[in-house]
Amino acid sequence: MNIKDFVSIRDFSASEIEYLLLLGRQIKAHPGTYIDTLKGKTLVMIFEKPSLRTRVSFDVGIQQLGGFSLYLSPSEISLGKRESVYDVAKNLERMVQGIMVRTFAHEVVEDMAHFAGVPVINGLTDYSHPCQAMADYLTMWETKGNLERLKIAYVGDGNNVAHSLMFTGAQLGAEVWVATPPGYEPRADAIAWAQGRASETGGSCRITNDAKEAAAGADVIYTDVWTSMGQEAEAGRRRDVFRSYQVNSALFACAKPDAIFMHCLPAHRGEEVTYEVIDSPHSVVFQQAENRLHAEKAIMLELMKDVSMGLMRPAAMPELVHA
């Protein structure tokens, strides 16, 4: 692979995505083989949005690869406010070997990747969640054995998770359906890219307002919370709008008998999914959550393994000037 950053699934080829998934499976199966692969290297984790899985998986993951992590909270950085993205990037590149950013605006991660001389990983933006998608497809591969022509039905809000699910499915030749209420579809540019790419790989990306149509004969039923971080003021209205898009036993029965249920978590049982679905034998949500660790270890290993350690110094140190 010859990609410096992990900002979007769209930046990769199908073979590169498949390589990372295979590496993730190998790391999961043989963790001891990779103990010192990032020995002494440091990942800084910038969190503008809180998280359980992102925080733990990156923190534990880098340590299991022999490296170190450093957590920076919103109050310590405040990207673009207290300090510009450019200045943060130019400071950090001289001290660490990788930067993970979990923030709101996708442009922040793009700018960080543009300015920083070390790898930048997108831990989540309002536009995409590529690390989650890698864990998702790793889980589908483990449970279904094949990703091509797999029918994946995402039911709910056309958000960042839906975007990355579409992008990855399009790259790998899967059949991705996204069912949302009218007005809550994925962004038009995300749909256009996924449909264009899918036409090249033999996959498909279909958008509908009919949840049952999406779920019919699906191998995977996937949902997410109806109200994402930053949308709390819309929670009441969204509950009313999304009520008929709940993944319950009736909707799940439209899928194949051996279908699996997926959710990126955290889940609101009784809202976007019922207890009898998320806690059923069909549910793989905790396997999916665990795979965040293995997928992200593969990403960190591939991006950070060749990054040199130590401060960036001028070619020749100036002589000291004595008074």
| Catalytic status, residue 263 | no
pLDDT for the residue numbered 314: 44
Question: Cα separation of 323 and 162, whole Å?
Answer: 64
Contact yes or no for 250/276 (Cβ under 8 A): no
Same domain, yes or no, for 119 and 163? no
Coil/strand/helix, residue 4: coil
Report strand pairing: 175-179 vs 68-72: unpaired
| Catalytic status, residue 264 | yes
Looking at the domain assignment, is residue 56 inside a domain?
A: yes
Catalytic pick among 224, 263, 288, 294 = 224
Same domain, yes or no, for 52 and 172? no
Same domain, yes or no, for 121 and 266? no
Task: Tell me the per-residue pLDDT of 149-178, one tens digit each, with 9 for 90 and over.
Answer: 999 999 999 999 999 999 999 999 999 999
| Catalytic status, residue 292 | yes
Domains in the chain, number = 2
Tokens of 129: 């969640």
Same domain, yes or no, for 95 and 143? no
Say yes or no to pLDDT of 323 above 50.
Answer: no
- Residue 72, H or E segment: strand 68-72
pLDDT for the residue numbered 322: 46
Tokens of 247: 């993944």
Looking at the domain assignment, is residue 319 inside a domain?
A: no
Catalytic pick among 64, 97, 132, 246 = 132
Say yes or no to pLDDT of 243 above 90.
Answer: yes
Looking at the domain assignment, is residue 322 inside a domain?
A: no
Going by C-alpha positions, the residue among 6, 290, 22 that lies closest to residue 141 is 22
**Which region among 1-10, 141-150, 212-221, 261-270 has the lowest average model confidence (pLDDT)?**
1-10
Looking at the domain assignment, is residue 206 inside a domain?
A: yes
Tokens of 45: 């984790």
Catalytic pick among 129, 163, 197, 238 = 129
Catalytic pick among 111, 171, 206, 264 = 264
Report strand pairing: 175-179 vs 98-102: unpaired
Looking at the domain assignment, is residue 320 inside a domain?
A: no
pLDDT for the residue numbered 308: 84
Task: Tell me the per-residue pLDDT of 198-228, one tens digit each, with 9 for 90 and over.
Answer: 999 999 999 999 999 999 999 999 999 998 8
Catalytic pick among 197, 238, 292, 294 = 292
Catalytic pick among 53, 102, 163, 197 = 102
Same domain, yes or no, for 105 and 176? no
| Catalytic status, residue 129 | yes
Backbone torsion region of residue 96, taken as left when φ is above 0, otherwise alpha when ψ lies between -120 and 50, otherwise beta: beta
| Catalytic status, residue 246 | no
Report strand pairing: 220-223 vs 151-155: parallel
Domain harbouring 210, CATH code: 3.40.50.1370
Same domain, yes or no, for 115 and 154? no
Say yes or no to pLDDT of 63 above 90.
Answer: yes
Same domain, yes or no, for 159 and 230? yes
Same domain, yes or no, for 120 and 56? yes
Q: State the average pLDDT over residues 42-65.
A: 96
pLDDT for the residue numbered 40: 95
Same domain, yes or no, for 283 and 299? no
- What is the model's pTM? 0.94
Q: Work out the pLDDT band at 230, boundaries 50, 70, 90.
A: confident
Q: State the average pLDDT over residues 286-315.
A: 86
Q: Which domain holds residue 45?
A: 9-128+292-304
Say yes or no to pLDDT of 300 above 90.
Answer: yes
| Catalytic status, residue 102 | yes
Q: Work out the pLDDT band at 1, boundaries 50, 70, 90.
A: low
Q: State the average pLDDT over residues 271-279.
A: 98
